[in-house]
Amino acid sequence: MNRPTDHRNLDLWNLNLDVCYGRANGKVIWQPRILAWFTDRYFSNTPLPDRYNGMTEPEIYRDLGCSNRLYFYNDCFRAVDPPSVKRMDVPSGTDHITHVIETPKGTLTEEVRVTPNSWYRIEEKRWIESPEEMRIFTWLLDNSTWEWNQRTYDHMLTEWGRLGAPTMFMPRVNVQDLYINTMGVERGVYAIYEWGSVIDDYFRALHGNHMRMIDVLNASPIMLINFGDNIHCSTLSPKLYEEFVLPAYIERTSKLHQAGKWVFSHWDGNVRALLPYARISGLDGIEAITPQPQGDVTLEEVKDALGDQIYLLDGIPAIYFDTTFSEEVLAECTEKVIKLFAPRLVLGVSDEMSSQGEIERIRLVGEIVDNYNASLP
């Protein structure tokens, strides 16, 4: 089909914003994240299917009939160290790199190891492993600022066009920062419960740094702001969420909403214990909540938690794009997600389609969405 309402014929930038701001007259946008499918092939030098030989990634998205969640615009925001800080990378052998930050208060290091399986690095020594290192990092956060890079914005716009509205994700919030960015889960938990005022001061500095970033965000043309926190209750208990994350979210979202930004957070893995906080966290939407059989919640439980106030971004379990499950199961789930959550729905994959997924299943879901949109008055 080639209807005017089909994704391949639409300005997907406008549709993206219209859906999020409630101006799309009930239409749904199909916005799967398939970056892992691409990156694993590039890393392993695996050729793309013949159909896509010679195509750019934006051309493939358009051919598949879908939008892209354009987090590439994250590079438009750059942290600015004070002039007295020096960063360097020190290689060791063929597979180890030490990242170094020299500050007037002391030196911080992170040691990573190259892996043959991915572009990502295995962390062998974290940035923060002692209260003294946390104090140095606190000073760095207190004295760092943010800036906007218009040249990067223009480049991303030229490369990706209007396949979706420009989107970015903020650095991770307090507890999630410890777990993922600076300490790891085990050390992070001990720090929260044993380091007293040291952790309190670090969280204060981190939050202040993020609020300065929001000043730059609010002055930018990017309207869709994600909290890229990878929240799940296997490591973040309701108690920790309520004590640390919830107050930070409420203050962040309040400031972003003052500039008309649309704000959502990334919750993946097991989230059932945290769903009661969905409507009171100041968010407009939640991304990547993963239903059964991959996650720990049913679609009905997610709907009950979000109600008619909060948008769902994604909703289709990523494993349904693998051959383990039939196309009929995928189609049935797609139709159920649309029925339960439209029009407060940015349909996508929870969390990302794996490199083992069948790329043509993206087209299948797109056809279901296009048929749904065409059926609306």
pLDDT 10s digits, 117-145: 888 899 999 999 999 999 999 999 999 99
All residues at 6 or more sequence positions from 208 whose CB lies less than 8 Å from its CB, including other chains: 141, 142
- Nearest CA to 150 out of 58, 78, 256, 255 is that of 78
Whole-model pTM? 0.97
**pLDDT at position 118, please?**
87
Question: Phi and psi for 267 in degrees, rounded to 5?
Answer: -115, 120
What is the Cβ-side half-sphere exposure of residue 213, based on CA atoms within 13 angstroms?
25
Residue 1 has pLDDT above 80, yes or no: no
Please provide the average confidence, as pLDDT, over all residues in the chain.
97
**Which amino acid type is present at position 179?**
Y
What residues does each domain of the chain span? 7-81+128-375, 82-127
The pLDDT-based confidence of 358 (bands split at 50, 70, 90) is very high
pLDDT 10s digits, 29-86: 999 999 999 999 999 999 999 999 999 999 999 999 999 999 999 999 999 999 999 9
- Nearest CA to 36 out of 313, 364, 359 is that of 359
- Nearest CA to 241 out of 195, 275, 264 is that of 275
Which of 118-122, 318-322, 367-371 shows the lowest per-residue confidence on average (mean pLDDT)? 118-122
**pLDDT at position 93, please?**
85
Domain 7-81+128-375 has CATH 3.30.450.80: no
